[in-house]
């Protein structure tokens, strides 16, 4: 190979790739609205993104898979946890993760900042990113279908989709607030009381750390039935 050929390889290689890359970048912006809901970026969402940056959340949590791999991915966290649970976690992590193998620092967010952060995370959840991360798809599906077409989901999916952010069952979910098998053995609530506890925990048990769950009355009844059914199954065993 001559020096001239080598030089040609350099320029052709570099320029062709650069042109393709810039053209695709132009097209990315043109098509962006197909993948992100730009019209739903409200002032609250922008403020929430600033909160996300301010507390350096991204160096422990990944989002869209980027950042620190130390804590769960936040892309679909809104579906996994729901509004009240996120608020409760970011305001009082030391309480929520008291018995967890992994802690989260107390960041000292104001209530306003926490609400903005939730708005940001809710918006991020709307990004069409080919169903990534794979482990959170079950939460997304449960969130979208449990209120409208609950019959298309099996019970465990509905229950763990709503509660798996804090409770475990078999190997599913995250056990920071107890496993449902243990809980069912321990509790002594009626169906109505348990349903009420899910929707407004403090009204039933004033000292409980659990926040009110963002689920409908019907879903709450379904979850209560599921937990209570574990009780009888345990007894039978």
Partner 1 sequence: MIRYESQKVARWYLELSLLLFSLQVLIGLWLAINYAFTLPQGLIDVFSFATARAIHTNTLVAWMLLGFMGGAYFILPLECKRELFSVKIAYLQLFVFAGTAVAAVIGFLFGWTQGKPLLEIPVPLDLLIVVAALLFVFNVAMTIFKATERSLIQWMLLAGVTFLSLLYLFGIPFFSDLNADYYYWWWVIHLWVEGAWELITAAIVAFIIIEVTGVERKVVEKWLYVETGLFLFTGLVGTGHHYYWIGAPDYWLWWGGIFSALEPLPVALMVVDTWLHIKARKHPIVNPLLWTYIMGLALFHFLGAGVFGFIHTLPAVNYYTHGSQITVSHGHLAFFGAYALLNLVVFYFAMPQLKGIEKFDDRLGVWGFWTMVIAMVFMGLTFGVAGVLQTYLERILDIGYSTTHMAMMFWFKVVLFFGVIFLCGTLLTVYHLFTLKKVSEG
**Contact positions with partner 1 (CB under 8 A) in 112-171:** 124, 127-130, 132-135, 138, 164, 168, 171
Site string for partner 1, 61-100 (x = CB under 8 A): -xxxxxxxxxxxx--------------------x---x-x
Name the helix (H) or strand (E) containing 121.
helix 111-124
Name the helix (H) or strand (E) containing 63.
strand 62-63
**CB closer to partner 1 out of 144 and 191:** 144
**CB closer to partner 1 out of 69 and 232:** 69
Burial class of residue 216, CB neighbours in 10 A (0-12, 13-18, 19+): middle
- Name every residue whose Cβ is closer than 8 Å to that of residue 22 and which is 6 or more positions away in sequence: none
Tell me, by CB under 8 A, how many residues bind partner 1: 80
Kindly state the smallest distance separating residue 204's Cβ from partner 1, in Å: 26
Hey, how many other C-beta atoms are within 10 angstroms of the C-beta on 132?
A: 14
**CB closer to partner 1 out of 89 and 104:** 104
Kindly state the smallest distance separating residue 107's Cβ from partner 1, in Å: 9
- From first CA to last CA, the distance across the chain in angstroms is 79
Residues 194-233 within binding reach of partner 1 (CB under 8 A)? none
Kindly state the smallest distance separating residue 113's Cβ from partner 1, in Å: 13
- Name every residue whose Cβ is closer than 8 Å to that of residue 90 and which is 6 or more positions away in sequence: 107, 109, 114, 117
Site string for partner 1, 4-43 (x = CB under 8 A): --xx-xxxxxx-xxx-xx--xx-xxx-xx-xxx-x--x--
**CB closer to partner 1 out of 11 and 154:** 11
Kindly state the smallest distance separating residue 146's Cβ from partner 1, in Å: 18
From residue 35, give the alpha-carbon distance in Å to each of 38, 126, 130. Answer: 9, 9, 10
The alpha carbon of 126 is separated from its chain's Cα centroid by a whole number of angstroms, namely: 12
Q: Give the residue, chosen from 140, 145, 156, 176, that forms a contact with partner 1 under the rule CB under 8 A.
A: 176
Site string for partner 1, 40-59 (x = CB under 8 A): -x---xx--xx-xxxxxxxx
CA distance 51 to 78: 16
């Amino acid at each position: 190979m001559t020096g001239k050929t080598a030089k040609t390889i350099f320029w052709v290689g570099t320029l062709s790739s650069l042109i393709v890359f810039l053209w695709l970048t132009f097209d990315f912006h043109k098509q962006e609205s197909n993948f992100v809901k730009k019209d739903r970026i409200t002032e609250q969402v922008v403020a929430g993104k600033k909160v996300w940056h301010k507390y350096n959340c991204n160096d422990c949590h990944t989002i869209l898979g980027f950042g620190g791999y130390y804590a769960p991915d936040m892309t679909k966290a809104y579906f996994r946890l729901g509004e009240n649970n996120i608020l409760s976690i970011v305001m009082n992590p030391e309480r929520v993760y008291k018995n967890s193998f992994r802690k989260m620092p107390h960041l000292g967010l104001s209530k306003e900042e926490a609400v903005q952060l939730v708005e940001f995370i809710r918006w991020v959840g709307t990004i069409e990113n080919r169903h990534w991360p794979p482990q959170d798809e079950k939460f997304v599906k449960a969130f979208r279908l449990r209120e409208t077409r609950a019959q298309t989901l099996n019970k465990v999916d509905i229950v763990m989709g709503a509660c798996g952010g804090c409770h475990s069952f078999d190997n599913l979910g995250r056990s920071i607030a107890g496993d449902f098998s243990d809980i069912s053995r321990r509790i002594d609530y009626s169906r109505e009381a348990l349903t009420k506890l899910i929707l407004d925990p403090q009204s039933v048990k004033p000292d409980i750390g659990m926040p009110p769950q963002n689920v409908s009355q019907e879903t709450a009844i379904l979850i209560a039935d599921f937990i209570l059914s574990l009780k009888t199954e345990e007894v039978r065993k």
